[in-house]
């Protein structure tokens, strides 16, 4: 089976699914007379001062590449993160929405029926996109799902579809050297990926 085809099946399992308290940052808006702007404020030691949330800027030590091969690998990592991070974010939103909706259903039977419908819908929606991912992009997506949801793909499938289905997906992935149990390690082996993710999210890459 072609790697790009089986990665679609593996990742279907994964796809099932700041600031100062009291001071909500808002964009300045024109006042009714259009001669001034409304500005969020906060009170500090009795003084009322404008409250402006500045964007975060990440500053890292410059990368030093030993050779052109390392430079190409880094450029590929940036491209891959930009491609799969949006999907990982979609997974996170889907999990939240699915969980919240399940809480409104009256019984377990109805919840299981809904989960089956969700699984079918996800396969139809995402399989074409998953087929376009390379094997390395698929493995990266599994890790970024863990990063965005704080749960591995295996844990997500087990929680929503049960241990049997989770075991099936994991066994299938293992046949091709992948694993739904892969955890994201932002301070260890995935430190460079974390750096790229932060900068991509912040618009610095």
**pLDDT tens readout for residues 179-189:** 777 788 889 99
Q: Enumerate the domain spans of the chain.
A: 3-16+58-201
- On whether the CB atoms of residues 13 and 169 are closer than 8 A, the answer is yes
pTM attached to this predicted model: 0.67
Q: What local confidence, expressed as pLDDT, does residue 18 receive? A: 31
Report the percent of the chain where pLDDT is more than 90. Answer: 15
| Mean pLDDT within 13-19 | 42
Checking if the pLDDT of 9 tops 60, the result is no
Q: What local confidence, expressed as pLDDT, does residue 77 receive? A: 94
pLDDT in tens, 77-107: 999 999 989 988 887 887 788 778 878 888 8
């Amino acid at each position: 089976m072609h790697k790009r085809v089986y990665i679609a099946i593996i990742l279907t399992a994964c796809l099932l699914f700041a600031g100062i308290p009291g001071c909500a940052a808002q964009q300045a808006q024109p006042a009714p007379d259009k001669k001034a702007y409304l500005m969020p404020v906060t009170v500090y030691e009795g003084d009322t001062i404008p409250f402006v949330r500045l964007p975060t800027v990440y500053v890292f030590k410059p990368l030093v590449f030993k050779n052109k091969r390392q430079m190409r690998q880094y450029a590929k990592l940036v491209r891959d993160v930009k491609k799969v991070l949006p999907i990982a974010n979609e997974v996170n939103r889907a999990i939240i929405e699915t969980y919240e909706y399940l809480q409104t259903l009256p019984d377990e039977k109805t919840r299981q029926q809904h989960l089956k419908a969700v699984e079918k819908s996800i396969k139809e929606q995402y399989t074409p996109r998953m087929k376009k991912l390379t094997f390395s992009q698929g493995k990266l997506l599994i890790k970024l799902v863990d990063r965005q949801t704080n749960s591995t793909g295996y844990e997500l499938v087990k929680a929503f579809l049960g241990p049997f289905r989770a075991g099936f997906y994991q066994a299938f992935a293992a046949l091709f050297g992948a694993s739904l149990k892969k955890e994201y390690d932002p301070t260890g082996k995935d430190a460079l990926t974390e750096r790229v993710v932060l900068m991509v999210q912040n618009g610095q890459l």
